[in-house]
Amino acid sequence: MKIIDNVYSVGVVDRDVRIFHGYFTPIGTTYNSFLVIDEKVTLVDFVKEKFTDEFLNNIEGILQGRTIDYIICNHVEPDHSGALPRVMEKYPQAMVYGTANCEKGLKAYYPHAKYNFTVVKLGDALNTGKYNFKFIPMPMVHWPDSMSTYLEEEKMLFSNDAFGQHTGTGEVLDTENGLDKLIDRAGDYYANIVLPFGMQVTKLIQTVSDLDIKIICPSHGVIITKYIPEIIQKYISWSKNETDDKKVLIVYDTMWGTTKKLAEQLEKEYTNKGFEVEVINLTEEHYSHAMSRVLEAKYIFVGSPTLNNNMLPSVSAFLTYMKGLKPKERIGKAFGAYGWSGESISQINEILLSCGFETEEPLKALWNV
Ligand code: FEO
């Protein structure tokens, strides 16, 4: 599919993927890849291995017998590099460009693949005729090898995972579903993938702020054309861990309904105080959905009854996941029901403290309220 003259999307839509390394993707995702036609032909990124046939067909549909001269591998994670071995079999003369960490990762993932690799760093460029690609390594956004590439003459940023969204609906452009949907999906992605790397995102934003960007082509989701200032502004805010002082998120699971009653009690109390409260029951929603709501909430209240001297496994999974994603400067509160020992509440409180949160006095209920 043509994006603009000389630039084509050749990636694939994965409508069926539902778990993406622990992250629930209810509408699937895309693995975006782009072909740039010039005196030399450049492929930007690969796709996940299982889509290689479709990917090669997409490429051939555009090239009609021409070959690929250059391949820019912005990121080694297999959703963007899995097709490499078969692409290299078909286009063995293509030179691959990426960071030093990308080279190491590709060697480890595809030890039998044959290709020539050129290591690039910030400031390096690739000329393909009338076009110049400028390389912008962005280590830890979100892997050590991660990189963006800027196509100077078309003012396009191939941003890889930055600005991505897991949108596997077949939509191509941000204009198809509006700003709110874009920000909602990009926020969900940021919370579940990028959140621990705020400092590195800040560096990336500083680097790209000098560029005139007309189109952002992330490696997942829709291409951003209209809402570039808005998405960059959101990335700045998320990278600073900015939260809404009026947002309360209540995440819980329940055995016999008492912890649910406590959640409802907290919801009522904080709504009456003027807060915007969202309640998530982990039996009904995946923990990664709860994580997406952590992104902008100042208050994170977590509840579980005590089962076998522990919290429920669903709550433990959420807390483990949230702790790894390192949200900062939140206020937590543990709550839960118990029958005799009641360890879950203190365990939750400890984990909230270990996340670096301040905590409010826990809320407990013996048997029932
Ligand atoms: Fe979309 Fe880090 O892979």
| Predicted local distance difference test score (pLDDT) of residue 118 | 98
| Predicted local distance difference test score (pLDDT) of residue 231 | 98
Q: Output the average pLDDT for the chain.
A: 97
Q: From the CA of 168, how far away is ligand 1's center (Å)?
A: 15
| pLDDT cut 90: percent of the chain above it | 99
Q: Which residues contact 351 (CB under 8 A, 6 or more apart)?
A: 319, 323
User: Where do the H-state alpha helices sit in 209-339?
Assistant: 228-239, 258-272, 287-294, 313-325
Q: From the CA of 100, how far away is ligand 1's center (Å)?
A: 17
| pLDDT cut 70: percent of the chain above it | 100
Q: Average pLDDT, stretch 218-232?
A: 98
Q: Tokens in use for 155? A: 């003012």
Q: Tokens in use for 270? A: 């904080």
Q: Is 161 a catalytic residue?
A: yes
Active-site annotation holder among 5, 16, 21, 284 = 21
Q: Average pLDDT, stretch 316-341?
A: 97
Q: Given the CA of residue 160, which atom of ligand 1 is nearest to it?
A: 1
Structural Rg of the chain based on CA atoms: 23
How many whole angstroms separate alpha carbon 340 and alpha carbon 220? 49
Q: Is 286 a catalytic residue?
A: no
Among protein residues, the one with the nearest Cα to ligand 1's atom 2 is 77
Question: Which among 80, 41, 32, 46 is positioned nearest to 62, based on CA atoms?
Answer: 41
Among protein residues, the one with the nearest Cα to ligand 1's atom 1 is 161
The pairing of beta strand 132-137 with beta strand 147-151: antiparallel
Ligand 1: residues within 6 Å at CB? 75, 77, 79-80, 142-143, 161, 219-220
Q: From the CA of 212, how far away is ligand 1's center (Å)?
A: 25
Q: Average pLDDT, stretch 98-106?
A: 98
| Predicted local distance difference test score (pLDDT) of residue 70 | 98
Distances 209 to 146, 228, 290, 332 between C-alpha atoms, Å: 18, 11, 31, 35
Active-site annotation holder among 80, 166, 220, 286 = 220
Question: Own/partner pairs for 84-89, CB < 8 Å, 24+ apart?
Answer: 84/46, 84/109, 84/110, 84/113, 84/115, 85/110, 85/112, 85/113, 86/52, 86/56, 87/43, 87/46, 87/52, 87/55, 87/56, 87/59, 88/113, 88/114, 88/115
Q: Average pLDDT, stretch 39-65?
A: 98
Q: Tokens in use for 34? A: 């782009």
Q: What angle do CA 272, 275, 280 make, to 5 degrees?
A: 100
- Read off the pLDDT of residues 233-265 as tens digits, 9 standing for 90 and up: 999 999 999 999 999 999 999 999 999 999 999
| Predicted local distance difference test score (pLDDT) of residue 9 | 98
Does the pLDDT value for residue 21 go beyond 90? no
Among protein residues, the one with the nearest Cα to ligand 1's atom 3 is 77
Q: From the CA of 140, how far away is ligand 1's center (Å)?
A: 11
How many whole angstroms separate alpha carbon 54 and alpha carbon 50? 9
Q: From the CA of 101, how far away is ligand 1's center (Å)?
A: 15
Does the pLDDT value for residue 298 go beyond 90? yes
Q: From the CA of 325, how far away is ligand 1's center (Å)?
A: 15
- Read off the pLDDT of residues 154-191 as tens digits, 9 standing for 90 and up: 999 999 999 999 999 999 999 999 999 999 999 999 99
| Predicted local distance difference test score (pLDDT) of residue 26 | 97
Q: Average pLDDT, stretch 56-77?
A: 97
Distances 310 to 115, 253, 256, 257, 334 between C-alpha atoms, Å: 52, 13, 16, 17, 13
Active-site annotation holder among 14, 45, 161, 171 = 161
Q: Is 253 a catalytic residue?
A: no
| Predicted local distance difference test score (pLDDT) of residue 268 | 98
Q: Given the CA of residue 142, which atom of ligand 1 is nearest to it?
A: 2
Structural domains in the chain, sorted by start: 2-239 (3.60.15.10), 244-366 (3.40.50.360)
Q: Which residues contact 222 (CB under 8 A, 6 or more apart)?
A: 165, 167, 171, 172, 173, 174, 176, 177, 182
User: Where do the H-state alpha helices sit in the chain?
Assistant: 52-63, 78-81, 84-90, 100-109, 178-189, 198-208, 228-239, 258-272, 287-294, 313-325, 343-354
| Predicted local distance difference test score (pLDDT) of residue 145 | 98
Q: Is 21 a catalytic residue?
A: yes
Q: Is 38 a catalytic residue?
A: no
Q: Average pLDDT, stretch 299-305?
A: 98
In what helix (H) or strand (E) does residue 145 lie, and over which residues does it extend? none
Tell me which residue has tokens 């329940």.
Answer: 254
How many whole angstroms separate alpha carbon 88 and alpha carbon 105? 16
